[in-house]
Structure 1
Amino acid sequence: MYIVTGGAGYIGGHLVDYLISKNLEVIVIDDLSYGKYRNEKAKFVMFDLRQNMGELVEKLEKNPIIYHLAANPDVRTSMINVEEHFERDVKVTLNVMELARRVDAEKVIFTSSSTVYGETSKIPTPESEELKPISNYGLFKLLCENIVKYYAEQYGIKSISTRLANITGGRVSHGVVIDFIKKLKDNPNLLEILGNGKQRKSYLYIDDLIEAFVMLEKKVNRIYDVFNIGNNDSITVDEIAKIVIDEMKLSPRITYKNPTADGRGWPGDVRLMLLDISKISREVGWSPKMSSREVIRQAVKDLLYGYKSVY
């Protein structure tokens, strides 16, 4: 039996679709704060994971595999709505791990983020690199990782923290691609880019991420481990804009809005991100099927023309 926290969200919804396609029993726990997706074949429990776990524990079977994806996904607003992000990331993760302990979870897979590294000089960035987040989002993800690690080691709950690159495609609900498309639909003659457009990051297609999750779950059985999940290359914001413009067949004027003196898109924005994914490739045999550029183009097509699930 599987429990997916945040299973009504973007990544969670795709994961639920995959698990259901394999005829597995899935319980989604979500309060519908950020995602509204529902797979009718999964059991849905409406619950705010910031609350006491007692009532929820009584409803659940023992020995589930838990995918913990519930969080506020917006890096930018973590620098503004600090307490809200803390509660939905750190407090929720503590509660989920306490839930895992009380239901004797077989395994926990936690979705962390590349933002835990901050701006590192080592590119591509391996899991062993020093963790120096520059956003509250990254800080809170790091605190969450430590909670997961502590519970794993203290209570024997096999757990994995996955540090994700930017995930897009399918029913993506936030991020640069959908932001650009919305802006151009509102005004086809103008596209405003946050930052100087030179920010360079790695992008992974949603289907590749789900495959990575499944392979890690099946093949990694240590008490605790951490894996980067990303791509082998990266792409600039300017290049993303060109792909979106090309797919929409427009020729807008491009302007830049620089909230920071050093060209970031917002305070806490990491300007360069490329994860070293050799560990997951070596240990479980996973690798992405598309380059970052191909991922962006496919994500634009998914949003413009509709996404057909592979599950």
Structure 2
Amino acid sequence: MSQVVTGGAGYIGGHLVDKLLDLGKEVISIDDLSFGNYINPKSRFFRTDLRVTFPKVEECDTVFHLAANPDVRTSMENIEDHFERDVKVSLNALEMARVSDCKFFIFFSSSTVYGEAPVPTSEDVETRPISNYGLFKLMGEQMVKFYSDNYGLKAVSLRLANITGGRVSHGVVIDFIKKLLRNPNELEILGNGKQRKSYLYVEDLIDAILLLQNKSIDKYNFYNVGNEDWITVEEIAQIVEDKMNLRPVHRYLDSGDGRGWKGDVRFMLLDISKIKALGWKPKLSSKEVVLRATEDALRLLNYAKS
């Protein structure tokens, strides 16, 4: 039975493809290479623009749907592109699962569906996204539930905290490193630095995904997947600076109310008791995640302290 990973050349998708192959699974990776170019040669790779078309998959077991535009900030500007890549692509991924008689569909949603909610935020909290990214992820969840209700597709949605580490190519850690490589004397920080969010290491996420694939028994359900603590942007900057042995001056770009950009959720901490009840919990704290992610990124860049 085939395991299908849309967005399989991307960050999380690439890690998931690797893990599934390590477990001896037959893996089909689908990607148009817009936001990643990682191709594991042991997988069957289809370069496909899911906005336009999708393959029919023989003997399909699970579709892991990750294909999307991952940039929350640009969703407030490039609205049509995000709609196509986040909503239209999700519809076509569901259609692929339906016509291929796939047994299970795992949708990768986001904590941004909640907007600025009370923390820690449980799955029972009303969803009120403040970015198009969060809005389109919520629309994806609704489509997944609709297909589950009307076409008998077993499905689950994962509302993710910030995922980092490994081959991560975007996010605050990478942003800070790139800025400091360009100018080691000054660090531009989006927002006021007091934003506080939860971070999960990518390997912990992969463990959660596999657990839900094996233990989720409901026709449709959704789970928060994140950490049990959080960390400020200033603390992240300090970790990166320590690892690079730099002491830059901080310059803040505040788009209003301490936000880094329009649609930025300033405070995010998920209640993960629902998935913990199934037997999963993160191995690393948010601070340990950021530290490990910084080390991973600097190692890939072959960065040596001066």
Task: Quote the Cα distance in structure 1 between the aligned partners of 2:234 and 2:60.
Answer: 47
Task: Quote the Cα distance in structure 1 between the aligned partners of 2:53 and 2:36.
Answer: 22
Cα deviation, residue 52, structure 1: 3.2
Counterpart position of 2:103: 106
The answer to whether the Cα contact below 8 Å between 2:227 and 2:270 also exists between their aligned partners in 1 is yes
Task: Quote the Cα distance in structure 2 between the aligned partners of 1:37 and 1:45.
Answer: 12
CA displacement 1:57-106 (0-9 Å, x = unmatched): 2xx20332110000000000000000000000000111111111101111
Cα deviation, residue 142, structure 1: 0.2
Cα deviation, residue 221, structure 1: 1.9
Counterpart position of 2:304: none
Q: Secondary structure at the match of 1:86?
A: helix
Q: Secondary structure at the match of 2:60?
A: coil
Counterpart position of 1:48: 49
Task: Quote the Cα distance in structure 1 between the aligned partners of 2:30 and 2:166.
Answer: 21
Out of 272, 279, 301, the residue aligned to residue 285 of structure 1 is 279
Task: Quote the Cα distance in structure 1 between the aligned partners of 2:88 and 2:170.
Answer: 23
Q: Secondary structure at the match of 1:97?
A: helix
Aligned: 1:124 with 2:120: yes
Write out aligned runs for 1:204-223 (5 A): 204-223=200-219
Cα deviation, residue 31, structure 1: 0.4
Counterpart position of 1:270: 265
Aligned: 1:115 with 2:112: yes
Cα deviation, residue 113, structure 1: 0.0
Out of 230, 236, 251, the residue aligned to residue 247 of structure 2 is 251
Cα deviation, residue 198, structure 1: 0.5
Counterpart position of 1:66: 63
CA displacement 1:247-301 (0-9 Å, x = unmatched): 10011111111122x110000000000000000001x200000100000000000
Out of 228, 233, 255, the residue aligned to residue 229 of structure 2 is 233
Out of 88, 91, 94, the residue aligned to residue 88 of structure 2 is 91
CA displacement 1:232-258 (0-9 Å, x = unmatched): 000000000000000100111111111
Task: Quote the Cα distance in structure 2 between the aligned partners of 1:179 and 1:124.
Answer: 26
Task: Quote the Cα distance in structure 2 between the aligned partners of 1:290 and 1:274.
Answer: 15
The answer to whether the Cα contact below 8 Å between 1:125 and 1:274 also exists between their aligned partners in 2 is yes
CA displacement 1:138-189 (0-9 Å, x = unmatched): 0000000000000011111100000000000000010000000000000110
The answer to whether the Cα contact below 8 Å between 1:64 and 1:103 also exists between their aligned partners in 2 is no
The answer to whether the Cα contact below 8 Å between 2:163 and 2:201 also exists between their aligned partners in 1 is yes
Task: Quote the Cα distance in structure 2 between the aligned partners of 1:303 and 1:280.
Answer: 29
Cα deviation, residue 305, structure 1: 1.6
Which stretches of structure 1, 4 residues or more, deviate above 3 A after TM superposition? Answer: none
If the length of structure 1 is used for normalisation, what is the TM-score? Answer: 0.95
The answer to whether the Cα contact below 8 Å between 2:16 and 2:206 also exists between their aligned partners in 1 is yes
**1:212 is aligned with what amino acid?**
A
Counterpart position of 2:16: 15
CA displacement 1:180-223 (0-9 Å, x = unmatched): 00000001101010000000000000000000000000000211
Aligned-residue sequence identity (percent) comes to 61
Task: Quote the Cα distance in structure 2 between the aligned partners of 1:297 and 1:186.
Answer: 21
Cα deviation, residue 306, structure 1: 3.6
Q: Secondary structure at the match of 1:139?
A: helix
**Structure 2 regions of 5+ residues with no counterpart?**
302-306
RMSD between aligned alpha carbons? 0.9
Write out aligned runs for 1:20-35 (5 A): 20-35=21-36
Counterpart position of 1:161: 157
Task: Quote the Cα distance in structure 1 between the aligned partners of 2:217 and 2:300.
Answer: 38
Query: How many positions carry a matched residue from both structures?
Result: 300
Cα deviation, residue 229, structure 1: 0.2
